[in-house]
A and B are shown apart, each in its own frame.
Chain A
Amino acid sequence: MTADTRRYLGFREAVGLIAGREIADQLRDWRILTPIAILTLFFPLLMNFTANKATSFVAQYGANVVADRLIPFLLMVVGFFPISISLVIALESFAGERERLSLEPLLATPLTDGQLYLGKMLASLLVPLMAAYLGIGVYLLGLALTVHWSAPPSLLAQVLMLTTMQALVMVSGAVVISSQTTSVRAANLLASFVIVPMSQLIIGESLIMFWAQYAVLWWIVFGLFIVAIILGRMGMHLFNREELLGREIDVLDIRWVWHHFKSAFIGRAVGLGSWYAGVLKVSVPRLWPSMLFMLVAMLGGYWLGIRMAGQYQIPPDLLQADSIKVDLLNQMRNFGLMSGRGWWLVLANNLRAIGVASLAGIFTFGILGVILLMVPVGLIGFFFGNLSLAGFDAFRYVVALVVPHGVLEIPAAILAGAAILHLGMSLVSPPSGESLGESWLSALAEWCRVCLGVVVPLLAAAAAIEVFVTPLVAALLLGGG
Chain B
Amino acid sequence: MGALIEASGLTKQFDELTAVEDVTLRVDQGQILALLGPNGAGKTTTIRMLASILPPTRGTAQIAGYDVLTQAHRVRQSVGLLTEHHGLYTRMRPLAYLGFFGRTYGLPRADAEARAGDLLERFGLQEDSHRRLGHFSRGMRQKLALARAMLHDPPVLLLDEPTSAMDPASARMVRQSIQALRTSHRAIIVCTHNLAEAEALADRIAIIRKGRIVVLGSPQDLKQELLGDPIMELRLSSPLDGAVRALPRGIEPLECGDTWLRYRTSNPEKANPRVLEAMSRAGLSVVTLSDVGRSLEEVYLRVVSDLQPGEEVRR
**A108, B14: Cβ atoms closer than 8 Å:** no
Contact of B111 among A1, A21, A110 (CB under 8 A): A1
A126 at the interface (CB under 8 A from B): no
Residues of B within 8 A of A (CB): 14-15, 45, 48, 51, 53-55, 73-74, 76-77, 79, 81, 83-92, 100-101, 103-108, 111, 114-115, 145, 148, 152-153
Residue A101, interface by CB 8 Å: yes
Which of A6-14, A160-168, A365-373, A384-392 forms part of the interface with chain B?
A6-14
Chain A 11-39 per-residue mask, 1 if CB under 8 angstroms from chain B, else 0: 00010010001000100110000000000
Residues in chain B near residue A111, CB distance under 8 A = 104
Q: Count contacts on A: residues with CB < 8 A to the other chain.
A: 33
A residues contacting B by CB (< 8 A) are 1-3, 5-9, 14, 17, 21, 25, 28-29, 100-112, 241-242, 245-247, 256
- Interchain CA distance A7-B77 in the complex, whole Å: 10
B77 touches A110 (CB 8 A): yes
Asked if residues A108 and B79 are in contact (CB atoms below 8 Å), the reply is: yes
Contacts A25-B92, A242-B54, A242-B55; A110 near B104 (Cβ below 8 A): yes
Question: How many residue pairs between the two chains, A and B, have CB atoms under 8 Å in the bound complex?
Answer: 96
What is the chain B residue whose CB lies nearest that of A18?
Answer: B104
The 10 closest A-B pairs by CB, nearest first: A102-B87, A101-B85, A109-B104, A101-B87, A108-B81, A110-B76, A110-B77, A104-B83, A6-B106, A7-B106
Q: Is the CB of A6 within 8 A of B83?
A: no
User: Is B55 a contact of A28 with CB atoms below 8 Å?
Assistant: no
The reply to whether A104 and B111 form a contact with Cβ atoms under 8 Å apart is: no
Cross-chain contact of B51 among A5, A100, A108 (Cβ < 8 A): A108
Q: Which residue of the partner chain, among A5, A28, A104, contacts B108 with CB atoms under 8 Å?
A: A5
Q: A3-B153, A104-B83 are in contact. Are A110 and B106 (CB under 8 A)?
A: yes
Known A9-B104, A17-B104, A21-B89: A105·B148 in contact at CB below 8 Å: yes
23 contacts between A and B (CB under 8 A): A1-B114, A2-B153, A6-B107, A6-B152, A7-B106, A9-B103, A9-B106, A25-B92, A29-B91, A101-B87, A102-B89, A103-B87, A104-B48, A104-B53, A105-B101, A105-B148, A107-B53, A108-B79, A108-B81, A109-B104, A110-B104, A111-B104, A241-B54
Chain B residue contacts of A256, Cβ below 8 A:
15
Q: Do residues A2 and B89 form an inter-chain contact, with CB atoms below 8 A?
A: no
Q: Which residues of A contact B51 (CB under 8 A)?
A: 108
Contacts of A104 in B (CB 8 A): 48, 53, 81, 83-85, 87
Q: Are A6 and B54 in contact (CB under 8 A)?
A: no
Measured between beta carbons, the chain B residues less than 8 angstroms from A8 are 73, 77, 106
Residues of B within 8 A of A9 (CB): 103-104, 106
Q: State the Cβ distance, A156 to closest chain B Cβ, in Å.
A: 36
Taking CB atoms, residues of chain A closer than 8 Å to B77 are 6, 8, 110
Distance of A104 Cα from B148 Cα, bound (Å) = 13
If A17-B100, A25-B92 touch, whether A108 touches B83 (CB-CB below 8 Å) is yes
Tell me the complex Cα distance, A6–B106, Å. Answer: 5
- CB distance A25 to B152 under 8 Å? no
Chain B residue, CB-CB nearest to A102: B87
Instruction: Give B120 Cβ to nearest chain A Cβ, in Å.
Output: 16
Interface centre among A3, A5, A105 (most CB of B within 10 A): A105
Interfacial chain B residues near A247, Cβ < 8 Å: 14
Least CB distance, B21 to chain A, in whole angstroms: 16
Instruction: Give the residues in chain B near A241, CB-CB below 8 Å.
Output: 53-54
> B91 is contacted by which of A3, A14, A25, A108 (Cβ under 8 Å)?
A25
For the complex with contacts A5-B108, A5-B111, 11 further pairs of A-B residues with Cβ separation under 8 Å are A1-B114, A1-B153, A2-B152, A17-B104, A21-B100, A102-B89, A104-B83, A109-B101, A110-B77, A112-B73, A242-B53
Residues of A within 8 A of B81 (CB): 104-105, 108
In the complex, the chain B residue whose C-beta lies closest to that of A2 is B153
B144 to chain A, nearest CB (A): 11
Q: Which residues of the partner chain B approach A14 to less than 8 Å between Cβ atoms?
A: 104
Return A320 CB to nearest CB of chain B, in Å: 65
Return chain A residues, CB-CB under 8 Å to B91. 25, 28-29
Residues of B within 8 A of A17 (CB): 100, 103-104
Q: Nearest Cβ in chain A — how far from B11, in angstroms?
A: 14
CA distance A112 to B52 in the complex (A): 12
Neighbouring B residues of A103 by C-beta, 8 Å: 87
Check if B76 sits within 8 Å of A109, measured CB to CB: yes
A8 to B92 CA separation, bound complex (whole angstroms):
24
The distance from the CB of B148 to the nearest CB of chain A, in whole angstroms, is 6
Task: Tell me, in angstroms, the Cα distance from A100 to B92 when the chains sit together.
Answer: 14
User: Contact: A102 with B88, CB < 8 Å?
Assistant: yes
For A97, give the chain B residue with the smallest CB separation.
B87
Residues of B within 8 A of A109 (CB): 76, 101, 104-105
Contacts of A110 in B (CB 8 A): 73-74, 76-77, 104-106
Q: How far is the CA of A29 from the CA of B14 in the complex (A)?
A: 37
Most buried by A among B15, B81, B106, B107: B106
Q: How far is the CA of A105 from the CA of B151 in the complex (A)?
A: 12
Neighbouring B residues of A246 by C-beta, 8 Å: 14, 45, 48, 54
Q: In the complex, which residue of chain B has the Cβ closest to the Cβ of A116?
A: B104
Contact status A1-B104, CB under 8 Å? no
Q: Which of A100, A102, A112, A245 contacts B54 (CB 8 A)?
A: A245
Q: Which residues of B contact A108 (CB under 8 A)?
A: 51, 53, 76, 79, 81, 83
Q: How far is the CB of A439 from chain B (nearest CB, A)?
A: 15
**How many Å lie between the Cα of A256 and that of B106 in the bound state?**
43
A425 to B55, CA, bound (A): 26
In the complex, what distance in Å separates the CA atom of A457 from the CA atom of B164?
A: 66
